[in-house]
Structure 1
Amino acid sequence: MKQTPAQRIKLHGFNNLTKSLSFNMYDICYTKSKEERKAYIDYIDEQYNAERLTNILKNVSNIIGAHVLNISQQDYVPQGASVTLLISEGPVVEVPNESLKESPGPLPESVVMQLDKSHITVHTYPEYHPNEGISTFRADIDVATCGEISPLKALHYLIHSFDTDIMTIDYRVRGFTRDIKGHKLFIDHDISSIQTYIPKEIKSLFDMIDVNIYQEHIFHTKCKLKEFDLNNYLFGYTKEKLQAQEIKEITERLKIEMEEIFYGKNMSPDSQDD
């Protein structure tokens, strides 16, 4: 029997359900020359260095009411960064009913939730096409929690923190806990779609596809920006400096790149597997 958000289930001991959120974002850029590519990679490494990523993850831990036990951070050569936070239960003893509702989570100004021992990680992957032209930046963020609350409450803030063209989001509930009669509970909250945790003003900007396996408590949503403005994908200049044929060719290459990432398969002739 499903529980409504307002109901509280009395448990036998600790709620040890594991809830995992994986958030992947992609930023795509056209870099015509090696100099532009290097400048773009340098910009990404500065914009999303380990120090800034650490601050983002600290805000995530605040949103879900966690204590940070340990921080490991690293900037890499030639590019990229990683941060891992080991976190434990926050000071809030009673979780508000609001935390169980299907709704977008808060930004860092609002903090009231509970978490038990778990972790938050981020890894960045600046990357480029070997024949020049397309550069991409990917960030992978994982938020794993044990207890009553869902890491999906951090999703709104994560989207807010990154300039993204494409997002893929996965959420899964693992394990079980017991009520006071010993009955196993394999999920302790209602969820119909990850999209419920994304504000309407953000959803209006993206085309979204859901792939959910409800009986396995597995939820997947991928998102791609609806509007395309070439100026947003040129690094250091605008399309006014390009010839009409260049605009057409660059636009086509960028759109193919975005479609391939969104659908997870090669589409252009030069990207087919041998």
Structure 2
Amino acid sequence: METKLQLHGFNNLTKSLSFNIYDICYAQTEEQREAYIDYIDEMYNAERLTQILTDVVKIIGANVLNIARQDYEPHGASVTMLIAEHEVGNGETDNEESPGPLPDTILAHLDKSHVTVHTYPESHPHDGVSTFRADIDVSTCGLISPLKVLNYLIHSFDSDVVTVDYRVRGFTRDVDGTKHYIDHDINSIQNYLTEDTQNAYQMIDVNVYQENLFHTKMMLKDFKLDNYVFGVNASDLGPGEAQSIEERLRREMLEIFYSRNVE
């Protein structure tokens, strides 16, 4: 059984999780593109995002101190929360390298901690590809860890491509004065995902262990055209048109996943 660190004073480590999700869609006409953006704005408005972040705060065991939220014109929304750490009985916390709970944005203030979400609907008239991006940041200080919210967040959005960054910053001291730059074991962000999520995505890790910096990229493996065309049915498309649309969508996903343009 792992021996718990005996700390001198407060745990000063800052644990930050940055989570970006991309939902990709094909909307051919201007009317379809506008309808897709309207759908995204309604689906992920400030009220819905606030509820998602409130659930995130519950999962990590924190208290919401303050919330700020805003729907933007013509589209997009932001939520920010300041949060405070719950008192954990007997100094216990769950930092085990294992998946967090599944689901059943708003800005809120935490005590030295915060949760934020910003949405970015986007479309391009030339090739019909539209992309919705949500950026979520969970930063905690003390015992609570943001890693347990990954499963909930992935299942709260239609995530085709996901990029996740986790970093532990600063240090805390034990009773002997020794500095500790991390207070839990972690080998990969992937270990905090359920098996079904791991099987559903192609994943790549880029980790810098000596800097306590962890990065995981995820791209959905299963591709069904019906899930990506907006305003039409894939069965109504001709074979050549369907193949052309699929190639454009796959290219969009690959470019986002590898962070480079594909010729």
For this structure pair, what is the TM-score category when the shorter chain's length is used for normalisation? over 0.9
Alpha-carbon distance between aligned partners in 1 of 2:205 and 2:247, rounded to the nearest angstrom = 26
SS in 2 for 1:204: helix
Alpha-carbon distance between aligned partners in 2 of 1:209 and 1:174, rounded to the nearest angstrom = 23
CA contact (8 A) 2:46 2:70 kept: yes
SS in 1 for 2:202: strand
CA-atom RMSD, angstroms? 1.4
The equivalent residue for 1:79 is 75
The equivalent residue for 2:107 is none
The equivalent residue for 1:66 is 62
CA contact (8 A) 1:90 1:116 kept: no
Alpha-carbon distance between aligned partners in 1 of 2:244 and 2:102, rounded to the nearest angstrom = 39
SS in 2 for 1:40: helix
Shift of 1:80: 0.4
SS in 1 for 2:68: strand
Q: Determine which of 185, 193, 202 is the counterpart of 1:207.
A: 202
Range with greater deviation from structure 2 (87-96 or 65-74): 87-96
Q: Determine which of 228, 235, 240 is the counterpart of 1:245.
A: 240
CA contact (8 A) 1:60 1:108 kept: no
Shift of 1:192: 0.1
Matched, 1:180 2:175: yes
The equivalent residue for 2:219 is 224
Alpha-carbon distance between aligned partners in 2 of 1:204 and 1:24, rounded to the nearest angstrom = 19
Instruction: Tell me the amino acid that sits aligned with residue 150 of structure 2.
Output: L
SS in 2 for 1:104: coil
Deviations 1:146-181 (A, max 9, x none): 012320011111111111100000000000000001
Q: Determine which of 119, 122, 144 is the counterpart of 1:149.
A: 144
Alpha-carbon distance between aligned partners in 2 of 1:202 and 1:39, rounded to the nearest angstrom = 30
Instruction: Tell me the amino acid that sits aligned with residue 225 of structure 2.
Output: L
Alpha-carbon distance between aligned partners in 1 of 2:242 and 2:102, rounded to the nearest angstrom = 38
Give the aligned length.
258
Q: Determine which of 114, 118, 124 is the counterpart of 1:119.
A: 114
Shift of 1:7: 1.9
Matched, 1:262 2:257: yes
Shift of 1:91: 3.8
Range with greater deviation from structure 2 (88-97 or 183-192): 88-97
SS in 2 for 1:169: strand
**Compared with structure 1, are the counterparts of its residues 193 and 116 closer, same or farther at alpha carbon in structure 2 (3 Å cutoff)?**
farther
Alpha-carbon distance between aligned partners in 1 of 2:91 and 2:159, rounded to the nearest angstrom = 32
CA contact (8 A) 1:127 1:136 kept: yes
**Compared with structure 1, are the counterparts of its residues 108 and 30 closer, same or farther at alpha carbon in structure 2 (3 Å cutoff)?**
closer
CA contact (8 A) 1:28 1:135 kept: yes
Alpha-carbon distance between aligned partners in 1 of 2:21 and 2:119, rounded to the nearest angstrom = 10
Shift of 1:248: 1.1
SS in 2 for 1:15: coil
- Give unpaired runs (5+ residues) of structure 2: 105-109
Range with greater deviation from structure 2 (32-41 or 83-92): 83-92
Range with greater deviation from structure 2 (125-134 or 155-164): 125-134
Q: Identity over the aligned pairs, expressed in percent?
A: 63
SS in 2 for 1:100: coil
Matched, 1:162 2:157: yes
Query: TM-score, length-normalised on structure 1?
Result: 0.91
Query: TM-score, length-normalised on structure 2?
Result: 0.95
The equivalent residue for 1:7 is 3
The equivalent residue for 1:138 is 133
Alpha-carbon distance between aligned partners in 2 of 1:202 and 1:139, rounded to the nearest angstrom = 19
Alpha-carbon distance between aligned partners in 1 of 2:119 and 2:97, rounded to the nearest angstrom = 29
SS in 1 for 2:186: coil
SS in 1 for 2:246: helix
Shift of 1:116: 5.2
